[in-house]
């Protein structure tokens, strides 16, 4: 065994142990570089610098802006839906057709085009090279194409609003046979454009995803071991791997459905009698589609959850001035959740008419996933314990995340337990569950992350006062939308109901629906405070300077703020420790950056004692 690989000897995660081994320079030893410097293509013109740009940071921002644009569309759609549900008679133009189209587009946009693109495309691109100490993604050109594929996918998706028949109204789950038959709005061009857009998204994402994975695995800087990476990177990494393995199922089901639609094949289509006539389909299996969809769909919900888990860990640690509790457990939990998420998909299909024996298998695997997730929750709150909590806007969003995530996670446990799912499936309980755990919790993290990294991206702080308003309105508002909504589900109100109040026992839902709708308008409107804050602060925000939050991880340690193309100036940073050395006993400052060599820490200690 060669000595130079044995880095564990010279430095370990715990600063304590590295500082006991005495002075001398060899304690700072880090293996020499394995790889030559990366050649970068530097843009010259406006077009190569800002449009067809190969810099991951710019691509990240492009992804973010595009995703937020779709997010605003999704938000407006949710407003219109709530309008209908809360005040059914008010807007005659809200027909059942358009309602279902809105539900569908809202769901798909929010899950795939907003959250997935924002977390992986946006944060992934911006943060991965910076946090692992690379100059850029490993294949910047492919990375650029990835964004433009995504862009085209969004254009195709948005185009479906304007085609004859409108966008598809099949529900974001796109279940056949309904999705491609008349009787569902947008079953002509709408569904086709949706399928094409999804396929483009998958292809584009694959290009980006390969970049993220390989950058993290193969392009880390010296001293950056996997177990020193910030949890943000672990979350994004695992989510990307999930995406690379789960999106194929979506691609395949899209292709097959397209063929069913266009060529009249019968993959998912059994014999069907419509309007008294027998269609030419025969022998296909609708449940197969559901299996394929959820083989993608369940990992997909963790694809949006894992990056949030990772990011929130980092934000909590920085703003509580304390190391993240149980780092190694956190890493294993992320990886474990990721791996397990491929074995639980049919918990969305308990009442789909699949083989009833699957219920036992999938209920067990589903509840098992709760264990690593629970550990993460415990570790977050234990990170707060005996910390020094700065109640910044960022921290508030993290706390909001914990509350909403635990709430939504527990309702997930209801649904995961197969027999409990029977009465609750396809009711508003499910809607409440996933908005709490996916609509609100990760969005909280996104907002927190933007407040956190905005100073890095622009060099200026976002306004804290506006930020706090934004937080409280969003958190309290969203909580009061979705917490009561569970009880609609108990009553038995099914989801995807355009209106429902003539049933005797459902009349009591009217009042709640009005309340929910009003809350939704307010929460939505609060986002415009945020947009105002963003626009205002780019120019007028308080200048932040370098490393304003006193964080440890590499992205704050670039020579320039905001970092330039190539990130690191002359020399790549060298990493000596994990990213969570806050308030190390005996250290002079309350944080020790990842690049601080052990010998300096010892000096600090010596000075103090």
Partner 1 sequence: MWTGLVFLAVIIGSIAFHVWTPWWWTDIASNWGAMDDTIILTFWIGGGVFILVCLFMVYCIFKFNYKEGRKVEYKPEDKKLEVRLTWATALGVAALLAPGLLVWNQYIKVPENSIHVEVMAWQWGWKYRLPGEDGVLGTSSNKKINDDNPFGINEDDPNGKDDILIDSEELHIANNRPVKILLRSIDVLHNFYVPQFRAKMDAVPGMITYYWFEPNKIGEYEVLCAEYCGVGHYAMRGLVVVDNQEDYNKWLAKHETFSSFIAKRKKEGLINEKVVKINNILNTKKSIKSEKNVR
Partner 2 sequence: MTDTKKKEETSTHKIGIYLWIWGLLFVLSFFSYMVDWYNFQGLLRWSLILFFMFLKAGLIMAFFMHLFWERYALVNVLLWPMTAIACFVGLMVAEGKYTVFSRLFYFFVGG
Partner 3 sequence: MSDPTLDKLPGGFKGMSEDIGSDQTTFKGVNWGKAMMWIFLLSDTFVFSCFLVAYMKVRASVTEPWPYPSEVFGLEVFGVPVPLLLIAIMTFVLITSSGTMALAVKYGYEKNRKMCGLFVLLTAIGGLTFVGMQAFEWSKLIFHDGVRPWGNPFGAEQFGAFFFMITGFHGTHVSIGVIFLFIFARKVYRGDFDTGRRGYFTTMKSDYVAIEILGLYWHFVDLVWVFIFAFFYLW
Phi, psi of 185 (to 5 degrees): -60, 145
Cα(107)–Cα(243) distance, integer angstroms: 18
Cα(562)–Cα(506) distance, integer angstroms: 55
Nearer Cβ to partner 1, position 426 or 605? 426
Decide: is 510 part of the binding site for partner 1 (CB under 8 A): no
Decide: is 499 part of the binding site for partner 1 (CB under 8 A): yes
User: What do you get for the CA distance between the two ends of the chain, in Å?
Assistant: 39
The DSSP symbol for 283 reads S
Q: Which of 492, 514, 515, 538 binds partner 1 (CB under 8 A)?
A: 492
Cα(420)–Cα(418) distance, integer angstroms: 5
- Number of residues binding to partner 1, judged by CB under 8 A: 117
- Number of residues binding to partner 2, judged by CB under 8 A: 18
> Cβ of residue 207: shortest distance to partner 1, in angstroms?
33
Decide: is 435 part of the binding site for ligand HEA (CB under 6 A): yes
Nearer Cβ to partner 1, position 64 or 253? 253
Chain-centroid distance, C-alpha 207 = 18
Q: Which of 29, 113, 247, 295 binds partner 2 (CB under 8 A)?
A: 295
Q: 579: phi > 0 → left, psi -120 to 50 → alpha, else beta; which?
A: alpha
Cα(528)–Cα(523) distance, integer angstroms: 9
**Range 455-474, binding ligand HEA (CB under 6 A):** 474
**Range 204-263, binding partner 2 (CB under 8 A):** 245
Decide: is 6 part of the binding site for partner 2 (CB under 8 A): no
Decide: is 224 part of the binding site for partner 3 (CB under 8 A): yes
Decide: is 332 part of the binding site for partner 2 (CB under 8 A): no
Q: Is 114 helix (H, G, I), strand (E, B) or coil?
A: helix
Decide: is 355 part of the binding site for partner 2 (CB under 8 A): yes
The answer to whether 110 and 74 have CB atoms below 8 angstroms apart is yes
**Piece of the chain touching ligand HEA by CB under 6 A; list 141-149, 154-162, 165-173, 462-470:** 165-173
Encode 316-337: b = buried (16+ Cβ within 10 Å), e = exposed: bbbbbbbbbbbbebbbebbbbb
DSSP string, 474-490: HHHHHHHHHHHHHHHHH
Tokens describing residue 362 = 């999938």
Q: Which residue in this structure is represented by tokens 């810099």? A: 55
Decide: is 400 part of the binding site for ligand HEA (CB under 6 A): no
> Cβ of residue 395: shortest distance to partner 1, in angstroms?
9
Decide: is 524 part of the binding site for ligand HEA (CB under 6 A): yes
Q: Which residue in this structure is represented by tokens 């209801």? A: 414
**Piece of the chain touching partner 2 by CB under 8 A; list 357-365, 412-420, 452-460, 577-585:** 357-365
**Range 249-268, binding partner 3 (CB under 8 A):** 249, 251-253, 255-256, 259, 263-267
Decide: is 342 part of the binding site for partner 2 (CB under 8 A): yes
User: For the window 297-336, what string marks contact with ligand HEA as x by the rule CB under 6 A?
Assistant: ----x--xx-------------------------------
Burial classification of residue 496, based on how many CB atoms lie within 10 Å of its CB (0-12 exposed, 13-18 middle, 19 or more buried): middle
Decide: is 273 part of the binding site for partner 2 (CB under 8 A): no
Tokens describing residue 601 = 């820490």
Q: Which of 41, 52, 343, 501 binds partner 2 (CB under 8 A)?
A: 343
Tokens describing residue 397 = 């969003």
Tokens describing residue 589 = 């400052």
Residue ranges that bind ligand HEA, judged by CB under 6 A? 68, 71-72, 75, 78, 81-82, 85, 103-104, 106-107, 110-111, 115, 171-173, 301, 304-305, 347-348, 366, 369-370, 373-374, 377, 406, 409-410, 412-413, 415-416, 421, 425, 430-431, 433-435, 437-439, 442-443, 446, 450, 474, 478, 481, 495-497, 520, 523-524, 527
């Amino acid at each position: 065994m060669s000595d130079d690989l044995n880095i564990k000897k010279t430095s370990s995660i715990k600063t304590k142990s590295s500082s006991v081994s005495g002075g001398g320079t060899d304690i700072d030893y880090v293996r020499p570089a394995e790889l030559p410097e990366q050649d970068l293509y530097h843009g010259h013109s406006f077009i190569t610098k800002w449009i067809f740009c190969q810099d991951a940071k710019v691509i990240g921002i492009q992804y973010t802006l595009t995703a937020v644009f779709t997010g605003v569309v999704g938000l407006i759609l949710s407003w219109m839906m709530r309008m209908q549900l809360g005040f059914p008679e008010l807007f005659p133009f809200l027909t059942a057709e358009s309602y279902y189209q809105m539900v569908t587009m809202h769901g798909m946009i929010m899950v795939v085009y907003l959250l997935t693109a924002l977390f992986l495309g946006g944060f992934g691109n911006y943060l991965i090279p910076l946090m692992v100490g690379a100059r850029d993604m490993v294949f910047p050109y492919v990375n650029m194409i990835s964004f433009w594929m995504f862009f085209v996918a969004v254009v195709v998706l948005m185009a479906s609003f304007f085609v004859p028949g409108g966008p598809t109204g099949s529900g974001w789950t796109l279940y056949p046979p309904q999705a491609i038959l008349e009787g569902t709005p947008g079953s002509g061009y709408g569904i086709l454009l949706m399928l094409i857009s999804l396929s483009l998204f998958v292809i584009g994402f694959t290009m980006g995803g390969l970049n993220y994975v390989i950058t993290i695995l193969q392009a880390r800087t010296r001293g950056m071991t996997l177990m020193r990476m910030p949890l943000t990177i672990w979350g994004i990494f695992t989510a990307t791997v999930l995406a690379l393995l789960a999106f194929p199922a979506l691609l395949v089901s899209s292709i097959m459905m397209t063929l069913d639609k266009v060529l009249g094949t019968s993959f998912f289509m059994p014999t069907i009698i419509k309007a008294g006539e027998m269609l030419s389909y025969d022998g296909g299996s609708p449940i197969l589609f559901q299996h394929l969809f959820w083989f993608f769909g369940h990992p997909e919900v963790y694809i949006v959850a894992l990056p949030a888990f990772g990011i929130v860990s980092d934000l909590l640690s920085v703003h509580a001035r304390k190391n993240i509790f149980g780092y190694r457990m956190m890493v294993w939990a992320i990886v474990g959740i990721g791996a397990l998420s491929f074995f639980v998909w049919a918990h969305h299909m308990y009442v789909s008419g699949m083989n009833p024996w699957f219920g036992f298998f999938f209920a067990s695997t589903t509840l098992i996933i709760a264990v690593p997730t629970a550990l993460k929750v415990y570790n977050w709150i234990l990170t707060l314990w005996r910390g020094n909590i700065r109640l910044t806007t960022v921290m508030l969003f993290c706390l909001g995340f914990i509350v909403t995530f635990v709430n939504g996670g527990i309702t997930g446990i209801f649904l995961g337990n197969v027999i409990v799912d029977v009465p609750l499936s396809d009711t508003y309980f499910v809607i409440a569950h996933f908005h709490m755990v996916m609509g609100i919790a990760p969005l909280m993290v996104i907002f927190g992350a933007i407040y956190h990294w905005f100073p890095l991206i622009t060099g200026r702080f976002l306004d804290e006062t506006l930020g706090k308003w934004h937080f409280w309105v969003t958190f309290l508002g969203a909580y009061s939308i979705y917490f009561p909504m569970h009880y609609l589900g108990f009553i038995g109100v099914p989801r995807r109901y355009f209106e429902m109040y003539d049933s005797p026992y459902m009349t009591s839902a009217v009042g709640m629906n009005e309340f929910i709708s009003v809350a939704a308008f307010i929460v939505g409107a609060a986002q415009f405070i945020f947009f105002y804050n963003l626009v205002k602060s780019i120019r007028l925000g308080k200048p932040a300077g370098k490393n304003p939050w006193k964080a440890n991880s590499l992205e704050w340690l670039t020579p320039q703020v905001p970092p330039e193309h190539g990130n690191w100036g002359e020399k790549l940073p060298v990493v000596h420790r994990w990213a969570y050395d806050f308030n190390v006993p005996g250290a002079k400052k309350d944080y020790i950056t990842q690049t601080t060599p052990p010998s300096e820490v010892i000096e600090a200690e010596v000075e103090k004692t």
